[in-house]
Amino acid sequence: MDPNLEYWQNNGKSFLSRLRLWFRLLDPSSLLASDAEIENARCLLRSDEKQQKNQKVHNAWTLSVSSVHSDSGAVIPPVFRPQAFLPIAVPLVVASFLPHKGVKPALFWHFILQSYCAGFNHANRNTTATQGNKTSVKQPLLIAGAVSYSTVVGALPQIILRRMRISNPVAQTFCRSVLPIPLSVFLAVFSVMVVRSEESENGIQIFDSNGNSVGVSKEAGSKAVKETAISRATLFGTTATVPTLLLYLLRRAKFVQRNPMIVAPVRHISTAIVLGLMIPVSFSLFPQLGKASYTRRIIKKHQVEKQLQALTEDGQLFYHRGL
């Protein structure tokens, strides 16, 4: 079993403990570590020295879990590591949520945002769904289709305003402030479901309580994708909702009515803050059972295929959920 899976097997047994772990793992300074440093950390964790409770081992776990894929053991590209999500996603999300005056700027920023989200979903998927833990031939087509569709749907409010020449203030407010909320939730779910669809179609590797591989389960793959989609919908849905509600309340204040220029900075800052807070929360969202944790989800034996039930006496089976 990969050292990262061993880590998640023994840590993060509650939501709060997972939240504390993710706040530490999301430290962007670890992005500066070289491949050689990451490999040295992995070598340390494969040795008997990993049993020691010292700062060196602690840092090695942090670097390994945040930088190396738990299925393939390959180093994740820096831009798609969990700790890179916040500094990259914040400007893209803020720019995408702007009330653009034209369609082209909206399409551009949604294309960049959806491309990054699709790449992040792909880089942090469960790779056991494909042969040799490698990208399949149809995966680029799935990513391209998801990005293209999400770009157009994301820019739909601006498209509606421009094509229909809407001048009614209420309708404009609805398109610019309310409509983006359900669209953000839908697109977050859509991207995960499409980019990681092979996990549901082909199945992913499952383990018994001792960490031994039992086989490949489509039921586990479907559950992993579904839970990740809910996690991502919570992240982007909350990020779209809270700043909108905040601005609605602020606009009723006399101070803001006298100084309308303050609305734009408040929108940008509140979006960045909410997104930053929701990233570790969404990563830690689902509770775990037994020794399972965020990335090693638990599944009841009767929920997997009958042919797999006969391969183990354990009442519970586990799988790597991805991120």
- What pLDDT is stored for residue 294 in this prediction? 34
Q: Which long-range contacts (C-beta less than 8 Å, at least 24 apart) are formed by 300-309?
A: 303/219, 303/223, 304/206, 304/217, 304/219, 304/220, 305/217, 305/218, 305/219, 307/215, 308/206, 308/214, 308/215, 308/217
Contacts of 222 (CB under 8 A, 6+ apart): 199, 200
Count CB-CB contacts under 10 A for residue 226.
14
Which pTM does this prediction carry? 0.89
Quick one: tokens of 276? Answer: 């930053």
Q: What is the pLDDT along the chain (323 residues), one digit of tens a residue?
A: 778 878 887 887 788 988 999 999 999 999 998 989 999 888 888 876 666 677 888 888 889 989 998 888 899 999 999 999 999 999 999 999 988 888 999 999 999 999 999 999 999 998 887 776 677 788 899 999 999 999 999 999 999 888 888 878 888 888 888 999 999 999 999 999 999 998 888 888 888 777 777 888 888 888 889 999 999 999 999 999 999 999 888 888 888 778 878 888 889 999 999 999 999 999 998 744 433 333 445 455 455 555 555 555 555 778 888 88
Q: pLDDT by residue (tens digit) across 192-227? A: 999 999 888 888 888 877 777 788 888 888 888 999
- What pLDDT is stored for residue 48 in this prediction? 67
Q: Which long-range contacts (C-beta less than 8 Å, at least 24 apart) are formed by 35-40?
A: 35/75, 37/63, 38/63, 38/64, 38/67, 38/68, 38/75
Give the separation between CA 113 and CA 93, rounded to whole angstroms. 7
- What pLDDT is stored for residue 248 in this prediction? 87
Give the separation between CA 61 and CA 172, rounded to whole angstroms. 50
